[in-house]
Structure 1
């Protein structure tokens, strides 16, 4: 019964990852069109309806549409779970698929709290950070499909692994402080929503300083990987990270000096998700998990371990 899902598990996992990044974009649309209270209550859209009504106008449609993406995420999570069940001896995949599935309703609950608290900027920020956490787990699930379950093996010297971890922490700090910057700016999701009270210029400077640190660390990682016998995939992943960061930084500076036009803010929020995706890719490329060969009875020759998990029959 699991074969149809198992056969396309990797595309399903990628679709789940992309959908979680897309959730950032739809959330940006809600915020940037002042539709944060388009559905003024939760879990219903209005006191008398679970769906948007004509009286809610376009803001209700936008907010309700963002809520409907949750069902797409749930459907993908269920499909990934069923596909993972079809992989023999891959409990790690099942656990990761469950983690993704549980994170989605949690995200919906926090989204509801943002509405019930009239878009409190700190709760809205938590809503975004949970998306980052979901992207992390969805990415891990996607990458683990083609890996084994042996202990991770470093592909680079330990100091470069440490540099990769430091770069990841800097990337997470950039994203987190970016959330605080957003909470101090004008795009609150509703004209009556409060801001966090921090000075936008001051917190933006902190954010910019962290961006410079992140780019410096990423460039150092790329050069260091080129200087040692590192796998080509690791060098390429670090290079992609630098390119994505520079693109995101350019958008960030232009949006700041052009007074935060909506289209650039939306692009910057999408860029935050892509920077984190690229960060995970760079970190992941520094190690591998070999496939564990199955034990065989005495007197028999063990079969070579496949490079990828076979797709079993149902």
Structure 2
């Protein structure tokens, strides 16, 4: 979770420092060189910022590989844990996909819509990382929802509203001043209108969250679910306040990266609420099935 969210934050640093084309080709940094070199048009500092972000992809792949190996070891003891291994494989697969999309973004000279896709591809990977963590800690029984059917529908609506916020946010970024390179094209649309739409989706998200809370109250939800519900409120409101301050101050660079971090935290909190709203049973310890058969 930290790796998937962190690579998005470092990517925002590349964008706000104008280093997106510090390495002007892909997979090489400069034509004929995999690493930054002296270049008349590209400052070496911006080259190293972009190059360092690319190298962090290797770290994310390493973490993803460890997750797969760990899930595979669990499955050796518990052959029925196919869901856990499948979720683990989405991590390295997603990182490779993200690297390819990142390369296409560079080759497209950071066109705003390619940057938007590059960011949006990372968001489901953060969500899946939360599901993977829960998969390690829970069983593999069919999901039994702890909320009534209306609550389940509201939860699905909440997730849809979350991605609407993220998509709308990329259009605000596309029209904003930080394109990753001074020469890149920007979205030709009034940023005030785009920011208003982005904020309206957040209001919808919060309204759905209120209605979901009422269903929890009526259903007598467990305490741990209320804790997760409260966490979503704290993170979402903090992100909303940060976005408003960021807009009022003229989108300073540092707040852009904090806003990207906030987006990741909202995804993590919402995914944790999703996972906490259903029960898949307890995770049996390794070898438990074999011990039961032996005892029988």
Instruction: State the shift of 1:41 in Å.
Output: 0.5
Q: Which residue of 1 aligns with 2:46?
A: 59
Structure 1, unpaired ranges of 5+: 1-16, 291-306
* 2:9 equivalent to 1:25: yes
Output aligned runs, 1:240-259, within 5 Å. 240-259=231-250
Conserved 8 A contact 1:211-1:249? yes
Structure 2, unpaired ranges of 5+: 289-296
Instruction: State the shift of 1:96 in Å.
Output: 1.2
Conserved 8 A contact 2:120-2:167? yes
263-272 vs 215-224, which moves further: 215-224
Tell me how many residue pairs correspond in the alignment: 281
1:279 to 250, 254, 270: 270
Q: Which residue of 2 aligns with 1:289?
A: 280
Q: Which residue of 1 aligns with 2:285?
A: 310
Conserved 8 A contact 1:86-1:312? no
Instruction: State the shift of 1:54 in Å.
Output: 4.7
* 2:176 equivalent to 1:178: no
Using the alignment, how far apart are the partners of 1:104 and 1:312 within structure 2? 32
* 2:125 equivalent to 1:134: yes
Q: Which residue of 2 aligns with 1:6?
A: none
Instruction: State the shift of 1:223 in Å.
Output: 4.0
Output aligned runs, 1:1-314, within 5 Å. 17-55=1-39, 56-87=43-74, 88-89=78-79, 90-290=81-281, 307-311=282-286
Instruction: State the shift of 1:44 in Å.
Output: 0.1
Change (3 A) 1:70 1:312: farther
226-235 vs 108-117, which moves further: 226-235
Q: Secondary structure at the match of 1:86?
A: helix
TM-score (norm 2): 0.91
Q: Secondary structure at the match of 1:188?
A: coil
Using the alignment, how far apart are the partners of 1:222 and 1:46 within structure 2? 53
Per residue, is there more helix in 1 or in 2?
2
TM-score (norm 1): 0.86
Q: Secondary structure at the match of 1:145?
A: helix
Give the aligned CA root-mean-square deviation in angstroms.
Answer: 1.5
Conserved 8 A contact 1:219-1:242? no
Instruction: State the shift of 1:222 in Å.
Output: 2.7
Instruction: State the shift of 1:229 in Å.
Output: 1.2
